[in-house]
Amino acid sequence: MLGGTTGMLAGVVAVVLPPASTVIAGGILLATTLAGAGVGAWLSGMVGMSIGNRRTKKFEEAIEADLLLLLAEVPADRALEIERRVKQHLSEVEIEGTEPNIPAFP
């Protein structure tokens, strides 16, 4: 967001300055806005990768002990059926249950 805003402001300054023609200034405006937005998106992605997954936080000890963790997203109406099938093939599995269905952007 900051990168895109900075690029847009730089482009507006280029449009206002008399020596620059409108075509050149418009190109500068577009290029700096896109470059700033691209850098901002890339940086936010890098920051997002460094943050741990909250869903696996409670399983960190088990994962470090080389236990297998399986998270599956299945339709709610088929959850019990799938749990039964997993138990049928892997009797020693511990099924923790289901999480509430909370949309990413409420």
Q: Who contacts 93 (Cβ-Cβ below 8 Å, separation ≥6)?
A: 86, 87
Give the residue ranges of the chain where pLDDT is below 50. Answer: none
Q: At what angle do helices 2-16 and 22-50 cross, to 10 degrees?
A: 170
User: Rounded CA gap, 13 and 46, in Å?
Assistant: 30
**Look-up of token digits 């806005």:** 33
Per the CB < 8 A criterion, the answer to whether 79 and 101 are in contact is: no
Q: For residue 72, what pLDDT is reported?
A: 81
- The tens digit of pLDDT for each residue in 49-73 reads 777 667 677 788 888 888 887 778 8
